[in-house]
């Protein structure tokens, strides 16, 4: 197999597949798997040498190379790898040591990051942004510790380019001659270090042509990472009955009034956001994304006010992310369509540890991207189940496109993959059933998934705690 062909496939799948999402999903399975195996072998060889945490694990397991798909599965990182630092380092503001910890997870050179005088998580991440190729993302910390993942800027730009392809193309049709510049509706905070909030700058660049007037956020403010870290400490302390021992960073406490005011403005901002959508943007072709619950609540509220068919029919509306405890009626998708007035709602499935979003076809099946190798693991033993037939278990993925961190990740999702039966939509790719559940939901345990649903809850917990603190 030609080296250039394999390297183009793993480094630039858009070029490899000539910018066509149809080409990405009609490549014969045998041909694709040959490409994946060789690309996996090369990427692992690179990362084994350049990522310390992976190298240490591979040495312990005596894995020097990988040739078959199952060879790499024992090396997958659980989500806890990205919060394996001592939390006390954040409390003590030892961002020099946090940088050394992060260096173990990425091949990107962080030796030039100066942490002198750095006194907040926000500032530390800003320094990483300014002094390296990374664009670090965090989780909301709902389990007591925030995850920190060393994503890179180039990968973020490339991933958003892929979003455009899948949102403005249709399977089975040639790519359009030109993709439109559109208004972006963002029912969320305007900035922050959380995974989904890190997309804001990418969305502006890729969808609006960097026209700030075309980006419409629900809240103009940023979510503060240090406030979310406080919330994570509160949850951990509450579980131990030690809330009285929590120490508040004076710098954060000094901003209490600012955070409380943000909370108080929300009802007015929500009303203004709704008015902007239904008047200023009415009839326009837009891109909007949000979870099922967010989209449904917006649509339901609009229909109750007698508002429907708001946007142009060819607008791109993207949803997904599960229901996260919300009970939605059986017709929730029809409600969303009626309000927004679009021909279709695009669904997607992904996780922040990998680059890919797996997009749903018209049959409601999520088709795995060709540069991602999917696995179904036994939920007890974590052993990979056979790559044939229909398998249900814990989802894991090896992403060949990732360069700034190890591409093998074990998720908290229970999925069902059909490796063998062709999807009725006609695409050749492996496909995942629509119904996906978090194991934490089955067990009633807290979940630290990097998602927008948890943002409001943990933010409010921290603000409410600050309200009770004198200072």
Q: What average pLDDT does this structure show over 238-262?
A: 76
Same domain for 188 and 244: yes
Same domain for 265 and 243: yes
Q: Is residue 206 pLDDT above 70, yes or no?
A: yes
Give the Cα separation of 32 and 210 in Å (integer).
36
Same domain for 335 and 393: no
Q: Is residue 377 pLDDT above 70, yes or no?
A: yes
Is residue 233 situated within a structural domain? yes
What is the structure's pLDDT at 143? Answer: 64
What is the structure's pLDDT at 104? Answer: 96
What is the structure's pLDDT at 239? Answer: 67
The pLDDT-based confidence of 240 (bands split at 50, 70, 90) is confident
- Burial (CB count within 10 angstroms: exposed 0-12, middle 13-18, buried 19+), residue 162: buried
Is residue 433 situated within a structural domain? yes
Q: What average pLDDT does this structure show over 337-354?
A: 91
Is residue 226 situated within a structural domain? yes
167 touches 316 (CB < 8 A): yes
Domain count, the chain: 2
Strands 316-320 and 390-399: unpaired
| pLDDT per residue as tens digits for the range 114-170 | 999 999 999 999 999 999 999 999 987 766 688 999 999 999 999 999 999 999 998
| pLDDT per residue as tens digits for the range 99-124 | 999 999 999 999 999 999 999 999 99
| pLDDT per residue as tens digits for the range 280-317 | 999 999 999 998 888 999 999 999 999 999 999 999 99
Same domain for 292 and 246: yes
Q: What average pLDDT does this structure show over 46-69?
A: 97
Same domain for 301 and 405: no
What is the structure's pLDDT at 176? Answer: 87
Is residue 65 situated within a structural domain? yes
What is the structure's pLDDT at 227? Answer: 85
Structure tokens at 28: 């014969």
What's the length of the chain?
Answer: 471
Name 448's Cβ contacts closer than 8 Å, sequence gap at least 6.
79, 83, 139, 140, 141, 142, 143, 145, 147
What is the structure's pLDDT at 462? Answer: 58
| pLDDT per residue as tens digits for the range 380-395 | 999 999 999 999 999 9
What is the structure's pLDDT at 440? Answer: 64
Same domain for 360 and 337: no
Same domain for 346 and 367: no
Is residue 129 situated within a structural domain? no
Its domain, for residue 39, covers 1-75+354-449
The pLDDT-based confidence of 173 (bands split at 50, 70, 90) is confident
Same domain for 460 and 377: no
Number of other residues whose CB lies within 10 A of the CB of residue 271: 10
What is the structure's pLDDT at 109? Answer: 97
Q: What average pLDDT does this structure show over 195-205?
A: 93
Same domain for 332 and 297: yes
113 touches 99 (CB < 8 A): yes
Residue closest to 208 by CA, chosen among 135, 154, 155, 287? 287
Is residue 99 situated within a structural domain? no
Q: Is residue 441 pLDDT above 70, yes or no?
A: no
What is the structure's pLDDT at 457? Answer: 60
Same domain for 346 and 253: yes
Same domain for 306 and 188: yes
Beta bridge partners of 374: 397
Is residue 80 situated within a structural domain? no
Same domain for 379 and 406: yes
Is residue 111 situated within a structural domain? no
Q: Is residue 451 pLDDT above 50, yes or no?
A: no
Q: What average pLDDT does this structure show over 73-95?
A: 91
| pLDDT per residue as tens digits for the range 209-237 | 999 999 999 999 998 888 888 877 776 66
The pLDDT-based confidence of 453 (bands split at 50, 70, 90) is very low
């Amino acid at each position: 197999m030609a080296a250039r062909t394999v390297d183009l496939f793993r480094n630039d799948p858009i070029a490899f597949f000539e910018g066509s999402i149809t080409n990405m999903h009609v490549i014969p399975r045998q041909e694709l798997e040959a490409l994946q195996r060789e690309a996996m072998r090369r990427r692992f060889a690179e990362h084994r040498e350049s990522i310390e945490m992976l190298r240490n694990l591979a040495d312990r397991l005596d894995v020097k190379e990988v040739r078959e798909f199952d060879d790499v599965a024992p090396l997958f990182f659980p989500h806890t790898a990205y919060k394996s630092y001592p939390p006390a380092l954040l409390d003590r503001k030892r961002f020099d040591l946090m940088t050394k910890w992060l260096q173990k997870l990425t091949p990107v050179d962080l030796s030039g990051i100066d942490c002198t005088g750095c006194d907040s998580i926000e500032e530390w991440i800003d320094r990483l942004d300014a002094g390296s190729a990374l664009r670090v993302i965090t989780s909301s910390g709902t389990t007591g510790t925030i995850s920190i993942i060393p994503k890179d800027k180039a990968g973020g730009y490339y991933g958003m380019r892929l979003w455009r392809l899948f949102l403005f193309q249709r399977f089975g049709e040639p790519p359009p001659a030109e993709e439109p510049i559109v208004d972006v509706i963002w029912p969320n905070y305007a900035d922050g270090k959380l995974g989904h909030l890190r997309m804001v700058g990418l969305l502006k660049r890729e969808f609006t042509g960097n026209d700030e007037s075309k980006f419409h956020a629900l809240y103009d403010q940023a979510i503060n990472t240090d406030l979310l870290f406080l919330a994570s400490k509160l949850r951990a302390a509450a579980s131990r009955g030690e809330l009285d021992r929590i120490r508040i960073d004076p710098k954060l406490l000094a901003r209490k009034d600012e955070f409380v005011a943000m909370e108080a403005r929300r009802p007015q901002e929500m009303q203004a956001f709704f008015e902007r959508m239904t008047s200023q943007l009415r009839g326009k072709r837009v891109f909007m994304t949000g979870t099922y619950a967010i989209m449904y609540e917006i649509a339901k509220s609009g229909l109750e006010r007698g508002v429907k068919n708001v946007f142009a029919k060819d607008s791109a509306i993207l949803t997904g992310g599960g229901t996260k405890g919300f009970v939605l009626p059986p017709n929730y998708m029809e409600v969303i369509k009626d309000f927004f007035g679009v021909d279709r709602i695009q669904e997607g499935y992904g996780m922040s540890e990998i680059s890919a979003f797996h997009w749903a076809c018209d049959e409601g099946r999520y088709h795995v991207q060709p540069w991602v190798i999917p696995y179904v693991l036994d939920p007890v033993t974590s052993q990979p189940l056979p790559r044939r037939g229909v398998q249900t278990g814990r989802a894991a993925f090896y992403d060949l496109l990732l360069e700034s961190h190890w591409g093998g990740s074990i998720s908290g999702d229970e999925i069902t993959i059909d490796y063998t039966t062709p999807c009725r939509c006609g695409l050749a790719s492996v496909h995942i059933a629509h119904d996906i559940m978090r194991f934490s939901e089955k067990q009633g345990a807290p979940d630290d998934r990097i998602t927008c649903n948890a943002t409001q809850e943990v933010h409010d917990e921290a603000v409410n705690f600050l309200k009770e603190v004198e200072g």
